[in-house]
Structure 1
Amino acid sequence: MNERILAIADQLLLIEHELRQLGWWSAHSPSDEALASCEPFCVDTLDFAQWLQWIFLPRMRTLVEGGGALPSVSGIRAMADVVYRERPLEVRELLVALGRFDQLIGKAR
């Protein structure tokens, strides 16, 4: 793996760590129906932390570990800013981790 891929993998671990620190990591998966939502970020069936845990992180890990094509841009931090606008101090470290992920994805290959 190249340095960029390793940095992205580390960032995914950091995002998981921050979700755990916030107490938002769940041992129980949402229903199959909730996970199958067609809405962006599953906004109709999951909260944002659930989406990060059950959709975003597994998909990104699969791409990183399998050598798949990563997205060329990411705006995950912007979405998190909207979702958590009422509590930016509580989620500060999560926002930083998501922003760093966006930066790593956007770097030239």
Structure 2
Amino acid sequence: MSIQTVAISSRSVILAAQSRIGGVSPWDGASEAEMTKHQRCQQLLAELKRVLVDNEVWQIAPPEPSRLESVMPFSADMLSGEEWLQWVFIPRMTAVLEQAHPLPHGFEISPYFEEVTKGQPYAAALLEITQDLDRLMGEQ
């Protein structure tokens, strides 16, 4: 499954990711191996956010809803790479984690971010995290 096959809209994911599951642990019923992978993913998502915030590319206001409806990979026609991370990738992955769904596997986002962050002072830090995510999602 790829990130694009998660069957929920970007807008609803943003809203879901902003709220927390009350009283139910998202880890209920997860194996220890899955919990570790989920926890590592959660940690990497937090690191991604930290890099974006620390480098002042994290946005306060969401983009117009129409910009979240792109069907292109990484919403490249509507969003910058950093916007895609903030408004699409991080919320969708957070929703997957909060609902304790299986993580997607076999995707690679690093090649895209290697291109779109060229020359940015945070490129190395961001790429280290995206490469860790790529490796984590490549594990069985």
The structure with more radius of gyration: 2
> How many Å separate the matches in 2 of 1:96 and 1:90?
10
CA-to-partner distance for each residue in 1:2-43, whole Å, 9 max, x for gaps? 111101110110011111111110010000000111111111
| Structure 1 Cα separation of the partners of residues 104 and 131 of structure 2 | 15
Task: Choose the corresponding residue for 1:79, options 107, 112, 117.
Answer: 112
User: Partner residue of 2:88?
Assistant: 55
State whether structure 2 residue 137 is matched by structure 1 residue 105: yes
* Matches for 1:1-109 after TM superposition, within 5 Å: 1=27, 2-85=35-118, 87=119, 90-108=122-140
- Runs of at least 5 residues in structure 1 that lack an aligned partner in the other structure: none
The letter of the residue matching 1:105 is M
Contact 2:49 2:86 (8 Å CA) reproduced: yes
Aligned partner letter, 2:130: L
Structure 2: gaps (5+ residues): 1-26, 28-34
Runs of 4+ in structure 1 deviating by more than 2 angstroms, as ranges, are none
Q: 1:72 to 1:48 in 2, by over 3 A?
A: same
Pairwise CA distance, 1:69: 2.5
Q: How many matched pairs?
A: 107
TM-score (norm 1): 0.91
Partner AA of 2:135 in structure 1:
Q
TM-score, length basis structure 2: 0.72
| Percentage of identical aligned residues | 26
Q: Offset of 1:67 from its aligned partner?
A: 1.3
Q: After superposition, what is the alpha-carbon deviation per residue over 1:54-99, rounded to whole angstroms, capped at 9, x for unaligned?
A: 00000000001111232111211111011123x1654111110111
* Closer, same or farther: CA 88–24 of 1 in aligned 2, 3 Å: closer
